[in-house]
């Protein structure tokens, strides 16, 4: 019997041990980041653009506008963060906890609550990240949306969120070899 149990344990560890360790490691950073983000629930934070390359066009909707995020709805598996640009309250970032990692989606709505044509884009973490930074490359759903709406530049989008406790939160959009847009929100105020 002992020989059987020992053999069974070896088989279980051989089959499940390595992937579990890999997933656990990814989950640890994602869970730490998600838990840190939840500590902001109920807070409104003002932000400012700290990077915008190449420089925006004259009609850029962010130029000269007040930027505010509101960590409003928090549950064990989802955090909803409305992001206001001046009077425009059409954007909400949705961060969800997955079995291994996190998901970021952009929920865009019209004033009457109906979904915008360009909505629910984003992606899942593909690497471990860290407890202070998680990155989300565009997923298949987003790529299909961008192609269908003639947005080829967006196919390489990678969104990142940074959170340094008691200091700042950063939302970032980057395109390798191209666009870099970062908004930093001050947590100290």
**Given the structure tokens 């299909």, which residue do they identify?**
144
3-state secondary structure of 171: strand
Cβ burial of 177 (10 Å; 0-12, 13-18, 19+) is: exposed
> What average pLDDT values come out for the chain (189 residues) when binned by 10 residues?
38 33 60 96 97 84 93 96 96 95 97 95 95 98 97 96 96 92 94
Global pTM exceeds 0.75: yes
């Amino acid at each position: 019997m002992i020989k059987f149990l020992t053999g069974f344990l070896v088989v279980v560890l051989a089959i499940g041990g390595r992937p579990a360790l890999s997933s656990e490691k990814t989950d640890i950073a994602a869970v730490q980041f998600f838990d840190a983000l939840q500590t902001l629930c109920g807070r409104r934070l003002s932000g400012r653009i700290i990077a915008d390359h190449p420089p925006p066009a004259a009609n850029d909707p962010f130029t000269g506008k007040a930027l505010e995020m509101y960590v409003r709805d928090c549950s064990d598996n989802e955090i909803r963060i409305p992001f206001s640009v001046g009077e425009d309250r059409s954007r909400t970032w949705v961060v969800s906890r997955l079995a291994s990692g996190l998901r970021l989606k952009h929920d865009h709505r019209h004033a009457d609550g109906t979904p915008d044509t360009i909505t629910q884009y984003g992606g899942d973490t593909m690497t471990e990240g860290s407890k202070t930074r998680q990155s989300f490359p565009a997923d298949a759903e987003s790529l299909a949306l961008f192609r269908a709406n003639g947005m080829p530049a967006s196919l390489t989008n990678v969104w990142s969120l940074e959170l340094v406790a008691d200091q700042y939160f950063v939302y970032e959009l980057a395109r390798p070899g191209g666009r870099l847009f970062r908004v930093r929100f001050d947590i100290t105020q």
